[in-house]
Amino acid sequence: MPFPINQQYIDAAEQELDLTFPTSFKNKMMIENGGELFLSEEDWQIFPFLDESDQKRKMRTSNHIIKENQQARQWLGFPQNAISFAQNSYGDYLIFLPDPIHPKYLADQVYMWAHETGDIFLLTDSFELLIQSSE
């Protein structure tokens, strides 16, 4: 079960990545840092933000979003400007891409990156809609 997270840990990740996550994503993560999504009969594991508030939370968030993105970037064809925030059991990722006008901000659209082909597919126009469709 995911724990809530303090804004300071999200801010730290944004500083390290030099990007700002969509507000709807941050709001969800502050309530449940990580967790699962069920989309089209697939289970997606959402990467948490590293939470160093105590040892238990630090251990539960060891697969944090920054570490997972470092690993995702090692895949051939993974878009280097993408930020992955979830993975399914097949090796595909859900990703955010930078806003074309303000590249330091991640756009709210959610894409899927298919690891076998390197293709990127738009899933929805907002993270909030993605959450609603998975309930």
Mean pLDDT computed over 40-45: 88
How many CA within 13 A on the CB side of residue 102? Answer: 8
**What is the CATH topology of the domain spanning 7-134?**
SMI1/KNR4-like (3.40.1580)
Q: What's the pTM?
A: 0.94
**Amino acid at residue number 68:** E
pLDDT of 47-85, one tens digit each?
999 999 999 988 998 999 999 999 999 999 999 999 999
Q: Domain ranges for the chain, please list them.
A: 7-134
126 vs 21, 72, 106, 107, 131, CA distance in Å?
12, 22, 11, 8, 9
Q: How many Å apart are CA 13 and CA 36, to the nearest integer?
A: 20
C-beta separation of 43 from 89 below 8 A: yes
| Helix axis angle, 7-17 to 65-72, nearest 10° | 30
Could you tell me the two tokens for 23?
């507000």
Which 8-state DSSP code applies to residue 98?
B
